Amino acid sequence: MFFHFFLRITHPRRIYILYLCLYTLFFRTMVKHIVLFKFKSFESAEEKEQKLKYIQSQLLNLKNIIKEIATMEVGLNGNPKEAFDLALVSTHKSWEDLAVYDQHPDHVAVKKIIKEVLDTRSAADFEF
C-alpha cells in the first residue's frame, strides 16, 4: 500500500507541488519593517533622553496590544557618530499584518507623539 502511494507521488510535478505545500506550511516568508528616527533638537540632553525613552516604551508596548506584530525591537542609538536617534525593527507574518499594524489606533496614537518631535524618518520593508 505504502509503495503504491510512493509511486503515485514520485512524478516530478507532484513532488514539486508537495514541496511547495510543505515549504509554505513550514517556511512562510515574513515581512520585516525597519524604521530609523531622527528627532528635533531639545532644550537639554536629559529632556531628549526622557522623550526617547518614553517613545521607546510606547512603541514596545504595542507588541502587547497589536496581535499582528510577531516581534518588535526598539533601540536608542548608542553611537553619537550616527545621524539617527532611535531604531525600530518589527516582523509581521504578512503584508496584510503590516498594514493592520500601520492603521491600528494605538499605533496611530504613538505616531502622533513621534511626529511632535520628529525631524527625519527613514524606513524599509522587505520579505525574508
pLDDT value at residue 4: 47
Grid coordinates standing for 85? 536617534
In the chain, the N- to C-terminal Cα span, in Å, equals 40
66-106 pLDDT per residue, tens: 999 999 999 999 999 999 999 999 999 999 999 999 999 99
Q: Tens of pLDDT along 34-78?
A: 999 999 999 999 999 999 999 999 999 999 999 999 999 999 999
Which long-range contacts (C-beta less than 8 Å, at least 24 apart) are formed by 42-47?
42/117
What average pLDDT does this structure show over 9-22? 61
- Please give the CATH topology (third level) of the domain spanning 29-127: Alpha-Beta Plaits (3.30.70)
DSSP one-letter code for 87: E
- Region 105-116: what's the mean pLDDT? 98
Helix (H, G, I), strand (E, B) or coil at 82: coil
d(CA 100, CA 111): 14
How far apart are alpha carbons 88 and 23 in whole angstroms? 29
